[in-house]
Amino acid sequence: MDFIKNFPFFSIMLSMFCAIVLSVLNRKAAKYMTRIVLGAVVCLSVAVLFFTIKRGESYVYFMGHFPAPWGNEIRFGCLESLFSLFVSLIAFLSVVAGTKAVEDDVEDRKENLFYILVCLMTSSLLAMSYTNDLFTGYVFIEINTIAGCGLIMVRQIGKTTVTAIRYMVISILGSGLFLMGVTLLYTLTGHLLMSNIKESVAVLAKSGEYRVQFTIVIGLMLVGLAIKSGLFPFHLWIPDAYGQSNVVSSSLLSSTVSKGYIFLLIKIFVRTIGFDVIKSCGVLYICFTLGVVAMILGSVMALHEKSFRRMIAYSSIAQIGYIYMGIGLGTAAGVAAAIFHIFAHGATKSLLFISSSEFTEGSHTKTIDELKGLGYKYKFSAFCYSVGAFSIVGFPLLAGFVSKLLLGGAAIGHGAMQWIALLALAVSTILNAIYFLRTVIYLFIPDKAGEEKKQDMVPAYSMNCEDYVFGILILVMINLVLGLASGPIINIINNGLDIFS
């Protein structure tokens, strides 16, 4: 049984070596190798998840030859393995379901380069979730940024280059701030390992020393990671990046890459510095305020957007706001709700992006108005898109409902914050419903004028691409599972948070 303790390390290394090997493979081999490796990583994560749930504790895995205060470590409890399972599963399903979109968008000879980026992204996200060392976290943040930038660029139309440059520049600002935070924290505590930092911070917090310095460190890390995950005032790169790139890239960027940074932030807050210290320095109010503003403004911007893909991208800004609001509540329930929302939004957003590919690629639809009547032509995609839209609006039985319920429940009992949070949830849900249900209704409006236009549309993917059907159906099922069987998952999250601190 103890052999399973090696699996987190194996899964990081497997996807990283796969990225190296892919560079010499041809198109077809690269495609299958990526699927096999991502599938294997999913299996390894499942094994680690069951192992940690069964044992009910977390484990530390030595890297290199040096023991705790000097060496590098991997640490895994049930929360880390659940997040890794989520990341690898979404990456696997996006790659499988988006095979056709990748073939359309990427040049023939360069398809293996796309799969390299996917593997690199997966391995850096896994490392960010498993690592116990802040500087390792920083290095993998940068690898993730580079992979994300490549993912935006794979679609070779001129404007993606400019979009990718802007994404890169903004991300580098964020990682610069984060690195400064890590450096200052190292000079304050003398440690880089999260558990050691926590011990020294507890001692320093008791004596009341370096209060201002700690606030600065926490602020730098929060702002750095908020910039990278696209929280409200730093969201400017999101619509272009998600709206122009290949659908698989958009789905990976919005549902896993930005979530990886948030997960690292939660790890820093809860595990590295300690939630009590964070609460006492008032940074959480910033989280809460920005989250609430993002929830409303993101939805308002999505409402005004005419382009279909950009509308889905704007809705990501609002959903990131939900997560930060959950963290900003400052309770264990709030953080648990935020983590559940990470999973719910990831599953839903990848479903929405990939099922929208059939409308945007198949019929060259760009604006929301052009969606009219497409639901009759592309029945399968329209059905799956509707499931995603209902889930994100928060219909019962689906993932979005549970996460909204949890966020609302976590907000109750917080005085003034309670009303602000509940009001923001209500307003944002209504706006969500308006703009997402509008697209669903448009899909099923019979459109007489567009009949002749439909003749030259590409036939539905779902007719001739089993991969697409398989991937999308599993994503729909994940949404249903998160909605119907949320109890065990919430239990895992709560247990994981307990052993976190």
Partner 1 sequence: MWNLIVRHLNDLVAVALFVIGFADLLFQKNMIKKVIGLNVMDSSIYLLLASQGYITGRKAPIITDGVTSAEYYINPIPSGLVLTGIVVSVSVTALLLSMTIRMYKKYHSLDLDYCLMMARGEG
Residue 183 binds partner 1, judged by CB under 8 A: yes
Distance in Å, CB of 130 to partner 1, minimum:
18
Which residue in the set 4, 38, 179, 352 belongs to the binding site for partner 1 (CB under 8 A)? 179
Q: Which is nearer to partner 1, 183 or 200 (CB)?
A: 183
Give the residue from 227, 224, 246, 225 showing the smallest Cα distance to 238: 227
Contact map string, positions 31 to 70, toward partner 1, x by CB under 8 A? ---------------------------------------x
- Which residues touch 72 (CB under 8 Å, ≥6 apart)? 63, 64, 66, 131, 132, 133, 136
Nearer CB in complex with partner 1: 272/299: 272
Binding of residue 16 to partner 1 (CB under 8 A): no
The pair of three-digit structure tokens given for residue 414, joined into one six-digit string: 């917080």
d(CA 450, CA 377): 11
245 binds partner 1 (CB under 8 A): no
Contact call for residue 180 and partner 1 (CB under 8 A): yes
Binding residue count for partner 1, defined by CB under 8 A: 30
Coil, helix or strand for 395? coil
Residue 161 near partner 1 by CB under 8 A: yes
Question: How far is residue 69's CA from residue 41's CA, in Å, rounded to a whole number?
Answer: 29
Mark the segment that binds partner 1 (CB under 8 A) among 165-173, 322-330, 340-348, 433-441.
165-173
Q: With binding defined as CB under 8 A, does residue 176 bind partner 1?
A: yes
Give the closest residue to 462 by CA, choosing from 360, 376, 358, 352.
Answer: 358
Which range binds partner 1 by CB under 8 A, 171-179, 252-260, 271-279, 437-445? 171-179
H/E element holding 493?
helix 486-500
DSSP 10-66: HHHHHHHHHHHHHTTS-HHHHHHHHHHHHHHHHHHHHHHHHHHHHHTS-EEEEESS-
What's the closest the beta carbon of residue 165 comes to partner 1, in angstroms? 5
239, 310 in Cβ contact below 8 A?
A: yes
Least spacing, CB of residue 140 vs partner 1, in Å: 10
Nearer CB in complex with partner 1: 68/441: 68
Comparing CB distances to partner 1, the nearer of 180 and 499 is 180
Q: Could you say whether residue 146 binds partner 1 (CB under 8 A)?
A: yes
Tell which positions 84-143 bind partner 1, by CB under 8 A.
135, 138-139, 142
Residue 146 Cβ, how far from partner 1 at the closest point, in Å? 6
How near is the Cβ of 87 to partner 1 at its closest, in Å? 22
Nearest CB to partner 1, comparing residues 158 and 415: 158
Q: For residues 174 and 167, give the distance between their C-alpha atoms in angstroms, rounded to a whole number.
A: 11
Figure out which of the listed residues 14, 48, 149, 318 binds partner 1, where binding follows CB under 8 A.
149
Q: How far is the CB of 180 from partner 1 (least distance, A)?
A: 6
Smallest gap from Cβ 160 to partner 1, in A, equals 8
Nearest CA-CA partner of 227 in 265, 194, 195: 265
Instruction: Rank residues 227 and 320 by Cβ distance to partner 1 and give the closer one.
Output: 227
Quick one: 49 or 143, whose CB is closer to partner 1?
143
Q: Which stretch binds partner 1 (CB under 8 A): 105-113, 182-190, 260-268, 395-403?
A: 182-190
Binding of partner 1 at residue 216 (CB under 8 A)?
Answer: no
163 counts as binding partner 1 under rule CB under 8 A: yes
Residue numbers 190-209 binding partner 1 by CB under 8 A? 192
What is the smallest separation between the CB atom of 120 and partner 1, expressed in angstroms? 12
Closer residue to partner 1, CB minimum distance, 23 or 161? 161
Which position has the token pair 């979404």?
90
Among 35, 166, 414, 438, binds partner 1 (CB under 8 A): 166
| Shortest CB 124 distance to partner 1, Å | 12
Please, is 80 exposed, middle or buried when counting C-beta atoms within 10 Å of its C-beta (0-12, 13-18, 19+)? buried
Select the span of 152-160, 285-293, 394-402, 472-480 touching partner 1 (CB under 8 A). Answer: 152-160
Q: How far apart, in Å, are the Cα atoms of 62 and each of 15, 131, 237, 356?
A: 20, 11, 38, 44
The rounded distance, in Å, linking the Cα atoms of 31 and 14 is: 16
Under the criterion CB under 8 A, does residue 165 sit at the interface with partner 1?
Answer: yes
Of 117, 109, 51, whose CA–CA distance to 84 is shortest?
51
Which pairing describes strands 59-63 and 72-76: parallel, antiparallel, or unpaired?
A: antiparallel
118 is written with which tokens? 């996917």
Q: Which is nearer to partner 1, 310 or 349 (CB)?
A: 310
Which one, 17 or 70, has the nearer CB to partner 1? 70
Least Cα distance to 126 among 88, 92, 91, 94 occurs for 88
CA distance 16 to 6: 16
Minimum Å gap between C-beta 489 and partner 1 is 35
- If one asks whether residue 464 binds partner 1 (CB under 8 A), the answer comes out as no
SS3 72: strand
> Residue 486 is encoded by which pair of tokens?
């949320």
Task: Please identify which residue in the block is written with the tokens 């923001």.
Answer: 424
φ and ψ at residue 76, rounded to 5 degrees: -140, 130
Burial class (CB in 10 A: 0-12, 13-18, 19+), 412: exposed
Instruction: Write out the residues near partner 1 by the rule CB under 8 A.
Output: 70, 135, 138-139, 142, 145-146, 149, 153, 157-159, 161-166, 168-169, 172-173, 176-177, 179-180, 183, 186-187, 192
